[in-house]
Structure 1
Amino acid sequence: MKRNNTFFRSVWFIAISGLGGFFLSLTGLSIGWMIGTFLAAALLSFLKPSLLRHDASKKGVPKYWLFIGQCILGIELGQKINLSFLHIFKEYWMTIILMLLLSIFFSLLSGFLLWKYSKTDMLTSFFGTAPGGLSAMPGIAEEVGANTAVVSIIQTMRVFLVILTIPIFVSLWASNPVNHVTLPAQTVSPFEFEKLLWTLVLIGIAYGGYLLGKYLKFPAPWLIGSMVAVAVVQSFGSLFMGHDMVSWWPHVVITLSQIFIAASIGSRFHKSMFIGLKQTLIVAFLSTIGLIFSMIMCAIFVSKVTGIALITAVLAFAPGGIAEMTTTSVVLNADSTFVIAVQVLRIIIVCVILPPFFRLLNYWEHKKHLSSHASA
């Protein structure tokens, strides 16, 4: 009976939070469902904790909602590793790897500055500035003990700053800037039985990836394990068949993923998370501006050396979201295939490599702190 009570309270909480996402999505913002739901859930966790469990102010909705959202997101990202992606990577692999390493380096530098010049702990600083996106980073950060609220706020700040600055920059740079742009409609493959079968295969593969990720002690195995497993099967399956393997994957599924993840993160907010955030937000804002500027400079250099159009290079390496940068590339007639290839590969690298690296750094710092106390 108590379990059913918790389930229905969670459903109500997620549904009400999702209304915030719906209203923000009306603005046309691609990640509006995510940010709107996140803000509404955070507000509800402050004002109406009775919608959650009795100890809701700390634990929030049950974790399985977050896991479902992460698994959906993992399948979505894994499916993008197709023949087009492999062709682009084969042609520009050295440029892509160099730029991804530079973007990760600058994000680490941004996190280091945030850690040194604010009261934010090391893990929270690095997860907050990692270019993995609002959908992925807070969920992983929570599992390793970082301050989810700060990570979410910094990630949201970066998304907004990138959306506000990068499209304006590339529009001004374009020789024929686009005026009164209408965003392209979301295309969804029509329903076919074969595509539904492939969807079921990918769901099974994603679950197998989760089990393997859990066995190998991956952070956020529902996201990382499913993403890597689906990417491997999708790419090899497409190579074997000679064409892209397409699943039936309506856009509403991705919307549900954003709602589940955002509501789960927002439901765990409590007031103590926000104590002393003023300095943190100032440093995070300045370091994010520096990160965006650095990536624009790098994109200009790559464009000059390789001949890739500047608009394409800037959108590909900008530390924003996949949906936002890809949509902008379509609107401005950039190479959207290249943009999505680079953005997806960076998220995969960030999600797979950086969390263990951050934990190792935190372990070294903790060990150094204990040694200094012992010697004193």
Structure 2
Amino acid sequence: MLRFLETVLITVVFGLLFTWLRVPLSWMLGPLAGVLLWTGFTRRQLSFPLWLRNVGLVLLGYAMGLAFTADSARQIVTQLPWMLLATVLTVGFSLLMAGLLTRFTGIDAASSAIGSIPGGLSQMVVLAEEVQGADQTVVAFLQTIRLLTVIFVVPFLAVHSLSNGPGADLSTSSPASASSASSIFGEPYTWVLLAGFVLAAALLSVRLKLPTPWFLGPLAAAALLTVSGYPPPHLPSPMILAAQWCLGVYLGLGIKLTSLAGWRRLLPLSVISGLFIVGFSLALSFWFSSMHPMSVATAFLGTSPGGMTEMGVTATTVHADVSLVVAYQMFRILFILFVVPYGLRWAFRARSTRPENR
């Protein structure tokens, strides 16, 4: 209990510090950095229960599922082939960069691949637990550097170079419709039913052995309700921050920088890899905007390897098509979370069974 209280104190202080410094995802990266620095300099052991990590995954999965509106679903249907093409090209280019990282740094291929694929910091680190041979420390390091690179570079380019001025915001009608449909959740018993439905979806995902089940189950449950015309209520901001805090602490405890001997050599190559992936997305956006009636900013934010929330907020700022950006980001996330893990498991299982690797 004392170690847990020490963990809470240290990570909350760093969360507040990163918030004051206006660091993106401050309540995930702040606690993560706090754990790393505190354990690295003091050599003290901190404690954090696994069930709190799962609570954080449930809350974030639910919140992300709310963005899957009927409008974004229609966008996915109409541009499904192009979303699939963009996702496959992005994943393929990320794996190419992962291969170069493996060649020049010597880290194992599984860690490099999972660390380079733009599927989200928390989801990819959790996935690393499920792929044989993957090192969570390397995966978290690569995903953190990629995430920071994308969060700082993509909005800067979108705001200062690709902004197309005032334009239509297709999300303007969403709040009213959501408020009307959410009236069914006004009674206390409906909240109990909603919580039970989300929890049942998470447990079913665990039973089916889906990748990151505590995240995918609630995401699917919230998305199903939203698309059906009965969007559940949004979570209060403190709950989202608490979920980010849970994951940040858990990820920080899973990273052992002392075991990553070549991190000084890995850092600049990770940044370069992230910049190359952003550059690839920018080139892809010019091609997509020439093939479809969408702005370069919309295409860039839709294909960029960033988070759906961050790219959606940036889309609003530059007057891009928010629903289309969300649709592309959601498709990439779902594709990576549902398809890529099975492909990676198969590839590295087959690789480990080769005679020369026995």
* Partner residue, 1:356: 342
3-state DSSP of counterpart to 1:247: coil
Over 3 Å counting, the alpha-carbon distance change for 1:14 and 1:126 in structure 2 is farther
Where does 1:188-207 land on structure 2 (aligned, <5 Å)?
Answer: 194-195=185-186, 199-207=191-199
Give the conservation status (yes or no) of the 8 Å contact 1:174–1:311: yes
* Partner residue, 1:122: 109
Shift of 1:35: 1.0
Unaligned 5+ segments in structure 2 are: 167-174
TM-score of the two chains, using structure 2 as the length reference: 0.86
Give the conservation status (yes or no) of the 8 Å contact 2:165–2:319: no
Where does 1:271-282 land on structure 2 (aligned, <5 Å)?
Answer: 271-282=257-268
Equivalent residue for 1:221, pick from 213, 217, 233: 213
Shift of 1:311: 0.7
Q: Write out per-residue CA displacement over residues 263-291 of structure 1, whole angstroms, 9 at most, x where no aligned residue.
A: 01112333443212233333322222221
Shift of 1:18: 2.5
Unaligned 5+ segments in structure 1 are: 53-59, 179-186, 239-243
1:225 & 1:163 partners in 2: Cα distance? 27
2:116 & 2:300 partners in 1: Cα distance? 19
Letter in 1 for 2:148: F
Moved more, 42-51 or 76-85: 42-51
1:249 & 1:373 partners in 2: Cα distance? 48
Equivalent residue for 2:136, pick from 148, 160, 170: 148
Equivalent residue for 2:13, pick from 13, 19, 44: 19
Q: Write out per-residue CA displacement over residues 25-64 of structure 1, whole angstroms, 9 at most, x where no aligned residue.
A: 2344441221111101222233456553xxxxxxx52211
Give the conservation status (yes or no) of the 8 Å contact 1:75–1:202: no
Letter in 2 for 1:261: L
Give the conservation status (yes or no) of the 8 Å contact 1:149–1:274: yes
Give the conservation status (yes or no) of the 8 Å contact 1:37–1:263: yes
* Partner residue, 1:254: 240
Which runs of at least 4 in structure 1 moved beyond 6 Å after TM superposition? 175-178, 187-193
Moved more, 36-45 or 113-122: 113-122
1:342 correspondence with 2:328: yes
Q: Write out per-residue CA displacement over residues 3-39 of structure 1, whole angstroms, 9 at most, x where no aligned residue.
A: xx3xx63244134213212221234444122111110
Shift of 1:373: 5.8
1:126 & 1:359 partners in 2: Cα distance? 11
Shift of 1:302: 0.2
Over 3 Å counting, the alpha-carbon distance change for 1:175 and 1:363 in structure 2 is closer
Shift of 1:70: 0.9
1:332 & 1:157 partners in 2: Cα distance? 25
Give the conservation status (yes or no) of the 8 Å contact 1:45–1:266: no
Moved more, 16-25 or 167-176: 167-176
* Partner residue, 2:83: 96
Shift of 1:193: 7.4
Q: Write out per-residue CA displacement over residues 88-126 of structure 1, whole angstroms, 9 at most, x where no aligned residue.
A: 223333322221222222222222222233221122111
Give the conservation status (yes or no) of the 8 Å contact 1:46–1:269: no
2:194 & 2:185 partners in 1: Cα distance? 12
2:194 & 2:84 partners in 1: Cα distance? 27
The aligned length equals 345
3-state DSSP of counterpart to 1:285: helix
1:62 correspondence with 2:34: no
1:317 & 1:199 partners in 2: Cα distance? 36
Letter in 2 for 1:337: S
1:278 & 1:30 partners in 2: Cα distance? 23
Letter in 2 for 1:155: Q
* Partner residue, 2:171: none
* Partner residue, 1:55: none
3-state DSSP of counterpart to 1:307: coil
1:284 correspondence with 2:270: yes
1:231 & 1:92 partners in 2: Cα distance? 19
TM-score of the two chains, using structure 1 as the length reference: 0.82
1:234 correspondence with 2:220: no
